Amino acid sequence: MASYTAPLRDMRYVLFDLMEGDGLASLPGFEDFTRDLIDPVLDEAAKICEQVLHPINRSGDEEGCAFENGVVRTPKGFREAYTLFREGGWTSISCDPAHGGQGWPKSVGILIEEMICSANLSFGMYPGLSHGAYVALHAHGSDELKDTYLPKLVDGTWSGTMCLTEPHCGTDLGLLRTKAIPEGDGSYKITGTKIFISAGEHDLTENIIHLVLARLPDAPKGVKGISLFLVPKYRLKEDGTPGASNGVSCGSIEHKMGIKASSTCVMNFDDSIGWLVGEPNKGMRAMFAMMNTERLSVGVQGLGLAEASYQGAVTYARERLQGRALTGVKHPDKPADPIIVHPDVRRMLLTHRAYVEGSRALAAWVGRAIDHEEHHPDPAVRAEAEEFVALMTPVVKALLTDLGFEATNLGMQVFGGHGFIREHGMEQYVRDCRIAQIYEGTNGIQALDLVGRKLPAHAGRNLRRFFHPVSAFIEAKVEDEQLGEFVQPLAKAFVRLQQATAQVARAGMANPDEAGAAATDYLRLLGLTALGYLWAKMAEISLAKLNDDPDGFHRAKVATARFYVERVLPQTNALFAMVMAGGKSMMDFDEAAF
Amino acid sequence: MKVLVAVKRVVDYNVKVRVKSDKSGVETANIKFSMNPFDEIAVEEAVRLKEAGTATEIVAVSVGPQAATETLRTALAMGADRGILVQTEAEIQPLAVAKILKCLAEKEQPGLVLLGKQAIDDDSNQTGQMLAALLGRPQGTFASKLAVADGSVAVTREVDGGLETVALELPAVVTADLRLNEPRYASLPNIMKAKKKPIETVTPEALGVDVAPRLITLSVEEPAKRQAGIKVADVATLVEKLKSEAKVI
């Protein structure tokens, strides 16, 4: 059976060495978050993920959710695990202390999210969606709505959902039809059908708070006529406890490729009473508050699954005895050599490892920027951090889920036929990861967001928040004797990225199809260059610690950095060529010939 | 009633322990440490006694380096009220711990001293027994159940033949076995609160305790590698081999 051990050593490295986590406590509001508090919290989160959530991951996948007469039953053990998770206060970790939250920094929260995703992504969906609803409500709800609903969302007594998609509209929300009729008393009657609603119905909490996009009677057409409403499953009684049913029902649940223990529901709203969140017709804005957080979280899902898969692959590669090393017998005492002796197996494991550790560093970098965006005393620093986060949000979402899927596939490949069968849990990681490339905006949409919105915004200022630190680092270190082998390839990739950026801006300005054609390859080019930068920085940090490295951690870090710049970063060559080739070969292709 | 709980910082049970190249001990650099699992059970029992209204205050004690503060914080996060770190970098053997605990017990006057039955690093299984003897108080070791009544505690012990229940007059010393309870996960708010709970630091010298080791470690070796087994033809051969080779029957 698959096992999972939280990679606390690497997490602490990323947090305290790479991101100088000790500096967190100097931010106003974060005074308590010193290392002596962060360490035990990471330890305890790891314990719960390893001992409570992971053991019900595969059983949850096998059993799935059950649907009967409108009621959804989560798999065996999920209720108990959720109760423990909730009572432990883990639903409230990143929430506002004013509403009962623990106010933890994002750069720590993101590591705990990763552990949850590694241990049991399906389980993580339930508190994850609640958190999305929390974010939207916290940012845009009236004080009355916040006081009524936030404390119970924060402490996990109730859960939340985000109801966007309808049968005929997913990416293009402008088409949505769900209606909201004002009742004259400040409330609205909501009617319509939503699909693909994660955690829409389940048996973990006593009430479910839906955030629903709908149209007012006089709303303009398209996305400018969409408003956001809060619609509880049960209306609240005078005392604030759940009372009568609110016309919200689950029509069915989907049968999916992965995350089978997460209920994906068709939700019907039939004259359900709801309340406006934010301003009329400004629902998309309110929704984006949540969507940006969720996009980062989805990126972290790819990372979490990749980590879990890596652990399985390494263990198997050491234990599986099969054939002999190409250069002669390595373990004469055994009937065959473990497959880890083979170059191709090492190629898979190191690619996997370089993706995972690089992705973790990128997630932490963005997490740290969010902490600055929200807590730094200097408004200029806050603004710069916000621009960086805006730029990197689609990159984290798409790159980490694409790499996550490639990595989980490699993990399965290491197992050979034993990866394809269900017993070892490796194919589950692949299946669970697949949705992360699709939901919260497909990765194609993320690429368009990057190229169409984030690059041109503020005359390219967002991009500078990324380009400046990279070029400053290259300039300072390119001549460094020890670091040169890492920085020189990075410098080359960076030049390619700069040229590609100019090309996308130029060609895209003249013809939007050119930007669209380049988008996906451009996003990956930018993402792999960002990872190259982080790998070079990690090489620098670990090279300086090689003298005090009893467990070989830093030696392995430097070696993985070397693998990354030699064997992964060259992908940027091909990506550069593809971006520069333009989109003519696609767009000229006769549609009838497809 | 006040409860004193002793907690030890040990190499985490998940870590594959490696012997140092000079055979002076085991590798401890960059290794995960955590609370001795049996001590965790002792802390949990103390917290349950407090939740039941039997105990009024829980004092956690650890003897060891500054880093043992982390272990005390774990106990505080689980529900202990305050901590005492007896700080020392020296090698501390069970007798020294027992003497230190005796000294603290005399100062704190707890109704009950709870310890793990043994620590998973040296597996000595001596501290609780020595402490009871030094204090001249009754002991209930290998406890799998504990019921405090007026002035006494009934301790169900796991012994070779099954279970034995002893009634001890309080104050008493009790050591926890595996089945006494299942320790809780510390909640996030309690971990945060633990940071603000008081930890007093003292030294063995200040307590007037001589901690000099009475035993000398000559050399630490890896256990012998397990030899591969063999298949025997039939039951008769097996019995024969058990008699003549293994000499166990």
- When CB atoms are compared, the residue of A8, A40, A550 closest to B191 is A40
Nearest chain A CA: its distance from B167 CA (Å): 35
A518, A451 contact by CB (below 8 A): yes
Within this chain, do residues A564 and A466 fall inside the same structural domain, yes or no? Answer: yes
CA dist., res. A233 & res. A200, Å (int): 9
Inside any domain, residue A44: yes
**By C-alpha distance, which of A267, A255, A288 is closest to A197?**
A267
Taken as a whole, chain A contains a residue count of 594
CA dist., res. A160 & res. B178, Å (int): 40
The per-residue pLDDT for A561 is 98
Within this chain, do residues A110 and A223 fall inside the same structural domain, yes or no? Answer: no
Within this chain, do residues A496 and A566 fall inside the same structural domain, yes or no? Answer: yes
**By C-alpha distance, which of A264, A248, A255, A238 is closest to A214?**
A248
Q: Is A440 a catalytic residue?
A: yes
The residue of A41, A49, A82 whose CB has the most chain B CBs within 10 angstroms, and thus the best one to mutate to test that interface, is A41
pLDDT confidence of B42, banded at 50, 70, 90? very high
A285, A224 contact by CB (below 8 A): no
Inside any domain, residue A103: yes
List the single range of A49-63, A161-175, A551-565 with lowest mean pLDDT. Answer: A161-175
For the segment B176-183, the average pLDDT, to the nearest whole number, is 97
Catalytic residue among A114, A166, A384, A440: A440
* pLDDT single digits (tens) B77-90: 999 999 999 999 99
Q: Which residue of A has its CA nearest to B76?
A: A40
pLDDT confidence of A285, banded at 50, 70, 90? confident
Show the tokens assigned to A314: 């390494």
DSSP for B76-126, written as a single string? HHHT-SEEEEEE--S---HHHHHHHHHHHHHHH--SEEEEESS-TTT----
Domain count, chain A: 3
Residues 143-182 of A with CB under 8 A from B: none
Inside any domain, residue B176: yes
Residues 83-142 of A with CB under 8 A from B: 84, 87-90, 92-93, 102
| Contact: B70, A39; criterion CB under 8 Å | yes
For the segment B155-182, the average pLDDT, to the nearest whole number, is 96
Inside any domain, residue B203: yes
Inside any domain, residue B122: yes
CA dist., res. B236 & res. B243, Å (int): 11
* CATH number reported for the structural domain that contains residue A252 in this entry: 2.40.110.20
Within this chain, do residues A225 and A267 fall inside the same structural domain, yes or no? Answer: yes
Check the CA dihedral B25-B30-B32-B35 and report its sign: positive
Check the CA dihedral B79-B82-B87-B92 and report its sign: negative
**Final residue before a domain boundary, out of A226, A252, A281:** A281
The residue of A551, A555, A557 whose CB has the most chain B CBs within 10 angstroms, and thus the best one to mutate to test that interface, is A551
**Quick one: DSSP state of residue A105?**
-
Inside any domain, residue A195: yes
Inside any domain, residue A204: yes
Inside any domain, residue B147: yes
Alpha-carbon distances of B6 from A160, B40, B59, B147, B170, rounded to whole Å: 43, 9, 9, 20, 18
Nearest chain B CA: its distance from A89 CA (Å): 5
Establish whether the linkage from the previous residue to B189 is cis, with ω within 30° of 0.
Answer: no
Residues in chain A with CB shorter than 8 Å from the CB of B192 are: 32, 37, 41, 102
- When CB atoms are compared, the residue of A40, A47, A550 closest to B73 is A40
Inside any domain, residue A427: no
Residues contacting B27, CB < 8 A, separation 6+:
A550, B17, B18, B19, B20
Within this chain, do residues A151 and A19 fall inside the same structural domain, yes or no? Answer: no
Inside any domain, residue B143: yes
Inside any domain, residue A467: yes
Within this chain, do residues A458 and A553 fall inside the same structural domain, yes or no? Answer: yes
* CATH number reported for the structural domain that contains residue A96 in this entry: 1.10.540.10
A423, A2 contact by CB (below 8 A): no
Residue A293, pLDDT above cutoff 90:
no
The per-residue pLDDT for B31 is 86
| Contact: A551, B29; criterion CB under 8 Å | yes
CA dist., res. A431 & res. A440, Å (int): 17
The per-residue pLDDT for B30 is 79
Range of B146's domain? 2-224
The residue of B73, B191, B227 whose CB has the most chain A CBs within 10 angstroms, and thus the best one to mutate to test that interface, is B191
* pLDDT single digits (tens) A415-471: 999 999 999 999 999 999 999 999 999 999 999 999 999 999 998 999 999 999 999
Range of A568's domain? 443-586
* pLDDT single digits (tens) B112-164: 999 999 999 999 999 999 999 999 999 999 999 999 998 999 999 999 989 99
User: How crowded is residue A548: how many other Cβ atoms within 10 Å of its Cβ?
Assistant: 9
Identity at B158, one-letter amino acid code = E
Within this chain, do residues A459 and A537 fall inside the same structural domain, yes or no? Answer: yes
**Final residue before a domain boundary, out of A97, A116, A140:** A140
Within this chain, do residues A215 and A171 fall inside the same structural domain, yes or no? Answer: yes
The per-residue pLDDT for B226 is 84
Higher pLDDT, B4 or B226: B4
Show the tokens assigned to A568: 């992964």
Within this chain, do residues A245 and A155 fall inside the same structural domain, yes or no? Answer: yes
For the segment A351-366, the average pLDDT, to the nearest whole number, is 98
Inside any domain, residue B27: yes
A34, A28 contact by CB (below 8 A): no
* pLDDT single digits (tens) A82-128: 999 999 999 999 999 999 999 999 999 999 999 999 999 999 999 99
Inside any domain, residue A459: yes
The pairing of strands A179-182 and B57-64 is: unpaired
Alpha-carbon distances of A404 from A153, A298, B13, rounded to whole Å: 30, 11, 31
Domain count, chain B: 1
Within this chain, do residues A128 and A160 fall inside the same structural domain, yes or no? Answer: no
Within this chain, do residues A124 and A169 fall inside the same structural domain, yes or no? Answer: no
Which conformational region is residue A192 in: left (phi greater than 0), alpha (psi within -120 to 50 degrees), or beta?
Answer: left
* CATH number reported for the structural domain that contains residue B94 in this entry: 3.40.50.620
Residues 40-69 of A with CB under 8 A from B: 40-41, 43-44, 47-48, 52
The per-residue pLDDT for A299 is 98
The per-residue pLDDT for A22 is 66
The per-residue pLDDT for A1 is 62
**Final residue before a domain boundary, out of A140, A175, A192:** A140
Residue A2, pLDDT above cutoff 90:
no
In three-state secondary structure terms, B26 is strand
Residues 497-556 of A with CB under 8 A from B: 550-551, 553
Residues in chain B with CB shorter than 8 Å from the CB of A81 are: none
Q: For residue B30, what are the β-bridge partners?
A: none
Within this chain, do residues A200 and A115 fall inside the same structural domain, yes or no? Answer: no
Inside any domain, residue A410: no
For the segment A279-301, the average pLDDT, to the nearest whole number, is 91
CA dist., res. A582 & res. A518, Å (int): 7
* pLDDT single digits (tens) A142-197: 999 999 999 999 999 999 999 999 999 988 888 999 999 999 999 999 999 999 99
